[in-house]
Structures are given as structure tokens and as C-alpha cells.
Structure 1
């Protein structure tokens, strides 16, 4: 018992040091050398739409005319689409449709990607801007009045980015057979619309269109039009492909571009709702 007072005194001294240390003092965080770091704001979107239900049935009927002549059960199967396998539906989803007709086969695909920044100093939107900018650079869009770095002397469209990130390039035969390859820009000679790969206005926060005509050997020519756009922290890719049954037929660039852009606009409006 003779040692109890000493133990109590030691405990009191330790407690006094703890109180004066400032370890738990909120004011200590505001002192110079202890800056408070604020996390960047999260993106607007926390979830993604159901991709195979994102395209209206009326639009699918227009883009996939080959389904109209099939039995109802087969039509329903085509219009339902096939979901892309993904391990995180809050981060990435997609859907594919395909329909064959006597005149041509047509493929449609859409992909939604929700970009998330894991750096507290970088917002989801800023990270999405970086991801989108990389895809735009990879598309090698022609400068106004110019051609893409990879295009031939005829000014053919650049390769089209695929859903998996690959980029098929147009063949020399496709360049020669493409009636839209030399379409003049607005205000240019001939007054024709610009059908080359290009940036798009009025679609999300940023958008571009790519157009590729490919052919391998003696097979029919295939045209794929892609529209990629970003809205906040979500990046959407729409691809529409047509391959005529006859090798002498060339898919119409203007029609495919108009339909692909119209669908992209609908998807952007859906995201904004």
C-alpha cells in the first residue's frame, strides 16, 4: 500500500501530458503544415441504365429491318438483344443486336461506361474527360479541312473503334469504292455535307463520330459508324454496321450516320432524365 500514492501521481502526470499534447485538438488540423484535404466531388451518375432496354422498340425496328419478316418469336429474340458480359453492372454495361435480311445484314451495339476516379484529388468528371479524350485521340479525327494522319491520299475515313477497343482500318479497295470519302466540309466547294469522321456538337458534354468502310478480298463491303459521347462521368458508345449481300453494293454513309446520331441523341436524353 505504500506504493499506491506514487502510482496515482504517475497516472495524473500522464493524463496531464495527454491533455496538453493537442493530438485530439480540432484546432491542430487547421494549423499551418496540417492542411485539410477536401475530396473531389463524385460524378453525377451512380448507376447505369439497363442497356438492352435502352433502345426503343420503334428504333430497333428501323435499324434492324430484317427482323420484320421473321416469325414473332424470332423477332422478339432479336429485339431483346444480347447483354454484354460484365462483372460490375454499376461500372459498365452493353447490349448487341443483329438481324439479317435478303439485301443486307445489320448490327447494332451500345456500351455505357461509368467512370470513377480513385484519386481523391481528381473528380469523376475530370477522370471521365481524360478517358474520353484518349478515345478521341485514338480515333485520329481529321483536322478541319484536312485528313486523318492514317488516311490515304483519297481522304478516306479513319478506322472505327470497336467495342473491345480495337480499330479496324479501311482497306485500299474500300478507299476507292467509298463515294463519301471526299465529301467536302460545310462551306467547301460543292456545298455537300461533311461525312468524314468529326467532332459533334450538341450531344452530351463532348462527342465525335467515326466512319469506316472495310472490305477483305472479294467479300461485301462493310460500313461501321460509331458515335462516342460523354455526359458528366458516363461515356456512351454507339456502333451501327451494315454489310450488303452484294459485293457491288456500298452502304450509304449519310443514312448510317444520321441513324446512329439519332440513337445517340435519344440515349443522351435518357441519361439526362
Structure 2
């Protein structure tokens, strides 16, 4: 009887062991199929492609000497096309990471005024694996355009020249404005530290004399009349990089007036900013908006072309 009981107990134990092994094997195999494969596919799908550009140009060498001579008349003590070549070397801006952002400044003085030029390159990097560098740059550019108050589309008659070469008359926007008839207050405009000169409190609209200061007498004197307001107003631009916009602001200060042209364009994951300014002490001679916009645009087109090559 004892031997029979022992044999029966052994048989029951064997059956239970087989059942346990079968259940364990089925659960493990099913778990592996459910956990590993979908996870691997999701990780691959969430990895965005790298940015179009991995490096930035040398900023002070990015602008051709001939362009600098035209944009900075009087640099080095001479007129446009003359002067000391060292005056066109520029001063590199200080940044925290030259692999991500670089820039260069130039300045010239001619007669009762001065010109200032800044070129800034920023390579945008996305730290979100689901968002590409190019897409992150696109979003950043859109934020910059929105902050500058740029309208969503360019005027239909924008032929790329923006009325360049037409002198005379005060262009659209007036002094310290975002657009025609919209006057900024000092609090809204903030300080202007781009040119390296202290900003004076902004006054009321500058005098409208019908006389363009141009670049110390350059230009055709307004024989064609003032350009259309839409051609000079802050606006998106076509044909420069993937997207571009231009902002134009005339500011009156106690020491004179200055016109600030800001042109920003994006190509791939790089955002390029061109800031071109003219200061004049004689408030009766306003900086020529059309001429400054033309020069800023020509420079931006050259820079965009270098990225495309």
C-alpha cells in the first residue's frame, strides 16, 4: 500500500510539471513577440534626418570686397571703391559656440553720416529626435517673422527690385514705424544696439522734406518719384533661400536719424540675418530706403547662392 501511494503521487507530480512547462513556454514566446518588435520599429520611425548643413562659413570672409566697398562708402578714409583694404576685414562677433553661430560687423563713416553692416549665421540643431534640424529652423524663422510683424504674403507687384534706384521722398513707414501710419513708442521699439552706437530716445515722426539723403548725394535724385509704399514696406521676399523677409524702420533720435534694414532668410537648417543701417546727422536728408533695401537684398542673394553651390 505504501508503494502504491508513492507511485500515484509521483505520477500526479509529473503531470503537473508538464503542464507548468507548457504554460511557461507559451507565455514567454508570446511576450517576446509583443514587446520587442513594435518597440524597434517605433524607435526607427522617430529618428528625424540630419540637417542640410553641418558647418557655417567664415563670417568676415563671406562678403566680397567689392560688395563691401559699395555698401560701406568712405571706409578706410576713401570714397566707394577706394580706401584702406584693412577697413573691409570686419570684426567677428562674439558667440558661445562658433560651430552653431557666427557673425561679422563692418562700419564706415562718410561726411555727416555712417553705414553699419552685420551678417549673422545661425545653424539650428533640433534636440527632439522626432523633429528634423530643417523643420526646427523653419519654426524658428516663422517665429522671427511673426515677431517682426511681417505680413503672411508678399505684395503681388514685388518684382525683386523693391523700387530700387528710385530716390526722393520719404518711403513708407515713416520714422519709427512698423508700417504706414503705425508709429512705435519707445517702449515698444526697445533699444537699438546693433550698430554699436548708443540709442537716443525716439522722437516723433521725422520731417518729410521730399529730399532723400541717399548715400551722400548718390542716386538719381528722385526723378522717377517715390516708390510705391507696398514695394518698400516690411514684407516677405521671393527668390532668396527657402524663405525670406525684409523689415525697414526709420528712427529719429536727438543726434539725427537712422534707417535700419533687416533682411532674414532661411536655407535648410541655417538662418542668415543681414542688418544694414545708415545714420545721418542732418534730419533734412533722410536715408534712401530703396537704395539701402536694394543693397541688402543683393548681398542676401549672394549669400544664399553660396549655400546652394
TM score, norm. by length of structure 1: 0.74
Q: Which stretch has the larger CA shift, 195-204 or 75-84? A: 75-84
Distance of aligned partners of 1:80 and 1:200 in 2 relative to their CA distance in 1, 3 Å threshold = same
What residue number does 2:92 align with? 83
Rounded to whole Å, the distance in 2 between the matches of 1:160 and 1:204 is 29
Q: C-alpha displacement at 1:98, in angstroms? A: 0.3
Q: 1:59 to 1:196 in 2, by over 3 A?
A: same
Counterpart among 29, 37, 45 of residue 30 in structure 1: 37
Distance 1:59 1:221 in 2: 24
Task: Supply the distance in 2 between the matched residues of 1:229 and 1:124 (Cα, whole angstroms).
Answer: 16
RMSD: 3.7
1:1-273 matched pairs, under 5 angstroms: 29-31=36-38, 35-38=41-44, 39-67=47-75, 69-70=77-78, 75-142=84-151, 151=178, 154-155=181-182, 171=202, 173-174=204-205, 177=208, 192=228, 194-217=231-254, 219-273=255-309
Distance 1:152 1:40, change over 3 A: closer
Decide whether the 8 Å contact of 2:74 with 2:108 is kept in 1: yes
* Change in CA separation of 1:265 and 1:232 when aligned onto 2, cut-off 3 Å: same
1:36 Cα shift? 2.9
SS of residue in 1 equivalent to 2:181: coil
Q: Deviations over 1:103-140 (max 9, x none)?
A: 42000000000000001010001100111011000001
Counterpart position of 1:4: none
Bigger Cα Rg: 2
- Post-superposition Cα deviations, 1:40-82, rounded to whole Å, max 9, x if no partner, equal 00111000000000000000000111125349xx723321100
CA contact (8 A) 2:113 2:281 kept: yes
Structure 2: gaps (5+ residues): 1-23, 156-172, 212-225
Give unpaired runs (5+ residues) of structure 1: 1-16, 181-189
Cα distance in 2 for partners of 1:66, 1:99 equals 6
| 1:7-55 Cα deviation digits (max 9, x unpaired) | xxxxxxxxxx9xx968xx8996324x66432210011100000000000
- Do the aligned residues in 2 keep the contact of 1:207 with 1:228 (CA within 8 Å)? yes
Evaluate the alpha carbon distance shift between residue 254 and residue 153 of structure 1 in structure 2; reply closer, same or farther with a 3 A threshold.
closer
Q: Distance in 2 between matches of 1:179 and 1:143?
A: 31
Q: Which has the higher contact order (CA 8 A, sep 6+)?
A: 2
Deviations 1:140-177 (CA, angstroms, capped at 9, x unpaired): 124678x9xx747725699699787xxx9x95633654
Specify whether residues 117 and 81 from structure 1 end up closer, same or farther in structure 2 by C-alpha distance, changes over 3 A only: same
**Structure 1 residue 216: Cα displacement:** 1.8
